[in-house]
Structures are given as structure tokens and as C-alpha cells.
Amino acid sequence: MEALPLSEPVLLILLSLAERPRHGYSILKNVEEVSDGRVRLSTGTLYGAIRRLLDGGWIERFKEDDSPRGRQAYRLTARGRQILRQEVSRMKQLTRVASLCMAPKET
């Protein structure tokens, strides 16, 4: 369970790439859409995260045949997908515990 919990922007970036390979602009749009406009990443923040995710081997570059100049797609690696699964599992467990704690107690 290394590097968990993930920060929200990183989690959303990984989730957007879990669906399919995406390029930078598509990641930004998807993150904004999935978070209902709550998380709006700047380009600088996105590419800082992308560089570190590439260095960590969580994502990799993906060659698109009809990719225009300046557009580079990224996709999750097996390692990235495993970490994402671990994080989702951790969050599920946390949600379950929270539901139990907050459920009205019968007297």
C-alpha cells in the first residue's frame, strides 16, 4: 500500500486514464467533469503530476496513429492500475466504516 492515500487531483487523473488513454486536454476536461467542476487543474499542475507519474511508472506514453503535433496521449500501466485498485479498495473500506459509525443506533 505504498504512497496511499492519493491526493484528489492524482486520483482523478488516474481514474480518467483508467477508462482509456487520453492526452493532456482530455484529462483536464475529464477531471473537471468527473468532479462536477470542483477540481480544475491548471496546465502547470497537470504536467507536474504527469511527469511524476511517468517517473514512478504509474502511467506511460501512448502512441496514437492520428495524433496531431504537440499532442501526446498517456495511459495507465499495470502498476498504476494496481495502485488505483488499492486506493479504491481503501476508500471503500473507509466508506463502509464511516457508514457503520454514522448509522443511527437502535436502543
- Least separation in angstroms between residue 59's CB and another protein is 11
Rounded CA separation 55/58 (Å): 8
> Closest CB to another protein among 26 and 88?
26
Q: Is 66 in the site for another protein (CB under 8 A)?
A: no
Q: Which of residues 70-89 bind another protein (CB under 8 A)?
A: 70-72
Q: Which cell numbers in the block locate residue 78?
A: 499495470
Q: Which of residues 88-107 bind another protein (CB under 8 A)?
A: none
What is the chain's length? Answer: 107
Q: Residue 62 pairs with which residues in a beta bridge?
A: 73
